[in-house]
Amino acid sequence: MINAVTIAGTGSYVPEKVMTNEDLSEIVDTNDEWIVTRTGIKERRIAAEDEFTSHMGTKAATRALEQAGLEGAEVDLIIVATITPDTLTPATACYVQEALGAKNAVAFDISAACSGFLYAMKIAKNLIATGSFQNALIIGAEKLSSFVNWNDRTTCVLFGDGAGAAVLRKAQDGEGVILATDIGTDGGQTDLLNIPGGGAACPITVNNAGERLATLAMQGKEVFKHAVRRMKNSANVVIERAGLKAEDIALVIPHQANLRIIDAIADRLTVPNDRVFVNLHKYGNTSAAAIAIALDEANREGRIQRGDQFVMVAFGAGLTWAAAAIEW
């Protein structure tokens, strides 16, 4: 018996502190014009020193649970997608479980960078579809400001902090459903985008502490090309599996890394720009949180209405890519 799975609630949270392009130009040799023209980003949010990934994830999750009408104790499964966990172990999901009082849930993290939220969606959807769990809370949460090299203008202008969440559960008659999902990986390109230090391969020691190895490193131009190709292909996989045509798609919610990438994908999918969700001017690239925040904003702003069909598509380090087609 395969159950249809619905998205019963969404939530998001971004930290209070706004960092503008102007603010960044006081830290590194950059300017608003370069950042806006090359990326579309105008500002990003920066978490407080004592505000961690789990705190932001918990706030987003609380809002999603409220909308779904679910108590913490009723949650069966919590998956946190993050590359900026509070601690290497235990999983950030364990802190979230405790904060939500979700004492009956199984909780674990996944690491699939910017595609992580849609990876979590596929995993949770399949576990609910096959009856292993009744519901799941999926969260994309990142404190990238802790892993950015604030001396490197080629990366530090791109990223921000935040979290988004969704509650998945078995669909009842007449409810919208997750129509199709796709996930993929190319481990041959690990050098294009990574955090080289801080793991077992390169622990941070007194000898290398000055080298900032536990920060994001990216070959932007190469990543850009892969991002366009992989996101276009993955979106097309779910569009075809769901039996949709371009004109059926009410909204595309793409990963929020670069407006030029988003425009290129919209173009290739032949979806007009007014049917593409963009919020990266406010938040920059929040990795696994980006699509989760965008989904919640699209939901709460009424950009997706009951019965609408829409597509989410992501791309990130790994390389990883993922897409989902949804009927709301």
Name the residues annotated as catalytic.
Answer: 114, 255, 285
Applying CB under 6 A, among 87, 104, 154, 270 the residue interacting with ligand UT7 is 154
CA distance 217 to 194: 5
**Min. distance of Cβ 16 from ligand UT7 in angstroms?**
24
Looking at 12, 258, 286, 309, which residue binds ligand UT7 (CB under 6 A)?
Answer: 258
User: Measured between alpha carbons, how far is 128 from 148 in angstroms, rounded to an integer?
Assistant: 36
Check residue 184 for interaction with ligand UT7 (CB under 6 A): no
Long-range contacts, stretch 237-240, CB < 8 angstroms, 24+ apart: 237/180, 237/182, 237/323, 238/179, 238/180, 238/181, 238/182, 238/311, 238/313, 238/323, 238/324, 238/325, 239/269, 239/311, 239/325
Applying CB under 6 A, which of residues 6, 10, 12, 39 lies at the interface with ligand UT7? 39
**Least CB distance from residue 31 to ligand UT7, whole Å?**
6
Total binding residues toward ligand UT7, as defined by CB under 6 A: 20
For residue 322, the minimal CB distance to ligand UT7 (Å) is 12
The region of 94-102, 140-148, 200-208, 216-224 touching ligand UT7 under the rule CB under 6 A is: 216-224
Part in contact with ligand UT7 (CB under 6 A); list of ranges 151-159, 246-254, 263-271, 300-308? 151-159
User: Of 253, 257, 264, 293, which one interacts with ligand UT7 (CB under 6 A)?
Assistant: 257
User: Judged by CB under 6 A, which of 12, 145, 285, 309 binds ligand UT7?
Assistant: 285
Residue 55's H or E segment, with its range, is helix 53-68
CB nearer ligand UT7, residue 90 or residue 220: 220
57, 96 in Cβ contact below 8 A? yes
Task: Please tell me the distance from the alpha carbon of residue 199 to that of residue 80, in angstroms, as a whole number.
Answer: 19
User: Which residues are CB-neighbours of 207 under 8 A, at least 6 positions away?
Assistant: none
Question: Considering only residues 172, 200, 221, 307, which one is a binding residue for ligand UT7 as defined by CB under 6 A?
Answer: 221
Which is closer to ligand UT7, CB of 77 or CB of 81?
A: 81
Nearer to ligand UT7, 17 or 38 (CB): 38
261 is an interface residue for ligand UT7 by CB under 6 A: yes
Nearer to ligand UT7, 26 or 247 (CB): 26
Q: What are the phi and psi torsion angles at 89 (to 5°)?
A: -150, 140
Provide the strand spans (E) within 66-177: 77-81, 106-110, 135-143, 161-170
Binds ligand UT7 by CB under 6 A, chosen from 55, 125, 143, 153:
153
Q: Is 157 in the site for ligand UT7 (CB under 6 A)?
A: yes
**Of the two residues 37 and 132, which places its CB atom closer to ligand UT7 in the complex?**
37
Question: For residues 190 and 317, what is the distance between their CA atoms, to the nearest angstrom?
Answer: 7
State which of residues 98, 185, 220, 263 lies at the interface with ligand UT7 (CB under 6 A): 220
140 binds ligand UT7 (CB under 6 A): no
Which residue's CB comes closest to ligand UT7?
A: 220
Output the six-digit token pair for 239: 């569009």
Coil, helix or strand at residue 316: strand
The helix/strand/coil state of 115 is: helix
Residue 310, token pair as written in the block: 């829409």
In the complex, least distance from residue 114 CB atom to ligand UT7, rounded to whole angstroms: 4
Q: Where are the beta strands (DSSP E) in the chain?
A: 5-13, 17-20, 43-46, 77-81, 106-110, 135-143, 161-170, 178-185, 193-194, 217-218, 249-254, 309-316, 320-327
Q: Whose CA is closest to 164, among 290, 71, 22? A: 290
For residue 89, the Cα-to-chain-centroid distance in whole angstroms is 21
The contact set with ligand UT7 (CB under 6 A) reads: 30, 34-35, 38-39, 114, 153-154, 157, 220-221, 223-224, 227, 257-258, 261, 285, 315-316
